[in-house]
Amino acid sequence: MRIFVQFGHNICMEKKIVKTKLVIIGAGPAGITAAIYAARGGIAPVILEKGVVGGQVAGSSIVENYPGYVSISGADLAGKFREHLSALGTEIDEFDPIERAELSDDSRKIFTESKIYEAAAVIIAAGASPKLLPVKSEAEFHGRGVHYCALCDGSAYKGKVVGVVGGGSAALEEALYLSEIAERVIIIRRKSSFHAENSILKRVESKSNIEIMYNTDLVDVGGENALEYALVCDTGDKKTVRRLPLSAVFGYIGSVPQTDFLEGSVKLNDSGYIITDENLQTNIKGVFAAGDVREKRYRQIVTAVSDGAIAALNAINNDK
């Protein structure tokens, strides 16, 4: 069945209605795991992904905390996930972005550019995107010295001095990756310690070309045609601003959940993360959330995979 959806006064687009048992939004570790469990449970899920398959994992230079792999690149791990899914005959729709979702206890509809999916159950595993650096000139230098993926953009700064802003394991891991490319890496840390695995911190501290600037805030960035410096200050003395010569700044200060398309239908916390019960069901019957998009304390690959399995098992048994 097809319907015509009108945009504005003159433009109409024909959309195909697809009825399905399960729609999974997102093809990161949580979404892919959910799809694997669904396929093994006899349900052929529809998987929607607007970005890179693998989510934030695909952009990680190295992963050293996922069982079975002492060390593996994020891209390779994402590829392993996809291979497993493909072996079950399940495909991912990567070229049909979601416009909105209309979700209620009685009806679950997902609107993409070309289709309207009517699903018995939905698993939202849309993940999160990097939080932008909160400085005035971020937009001006975004992609011209301000970056959020060392694997994607680090090679452009071979032999140069770069900065990393953040206080978690991701910031330290990417600093290690950049230290193999750049002449020097300066980590700008606003506190006196890191929220990171001790083994990673020790490796960072052992690198001769990595410098850690504790108790330091990033104030802004600047330059002519591209980024040339960062302005920093001591967290205890915000009046004294210093210029730090840098060719790039890589931000790892957290993430923002991808929930804009939900239009208020699913209950969110104050930070925009989806609230679920212990079965990972949202406030709407038959709608589940998994991975970084939901409210929880720890956001790791293994917890996302666990979420995906739990959400899928409960979605399969949704009507039983």
Residues identified as active-site: 149, 152-153
Q: Record the tokens describing residue 36, joined without a space.
A: 């694997």
Q: Within 13 Å of residue 131, how many CA atoms lie on the same side as its CB?
A: 15
Are 221 and 137 within 8 A, CB to CB? yes
Q: What does R_g of the chain's alpha carbons equal in angstroms?
A: 22
Are 153 and 146 within 8 A, CB to CB? no
Q: Give the residues across from 257 on adjacent strands.
A: 128
Are 158 and 182 within 8 A, CB to CB? yes
Are 88 and 271 within 8 A, CB to CB? no
Q: Return left, alpha or beta for 159; rule: phi > 0 is left, psi -120 to 50 is alpha, else beta.
A: left
Phi, psi of 47 (to 5 degrees): -110, 125
Give every CB contact of residue 250 below 8 A, 6+ residues apart in sequence.
147, 148, 149, 150, 153, 154, 162, 163, 164, 165, 174, 178
Instruction: Return the C-alpha torsion angle 86, 71, 209, 234, nearest 10.
Output: 80
What whole-number distance in Å separates Cα of residue 231 and Cα of residue 183? 20
- Tokens 């960035």 belong to 221
What whole-number distance in Å separates Cα of residue 186 and Cα of residue 199? 19
In whole angstroms, how far apart are CA 237 and each of 187, 215, 220, 290?
19, 10, 16, 41
3-state secondary structure of 173: helix
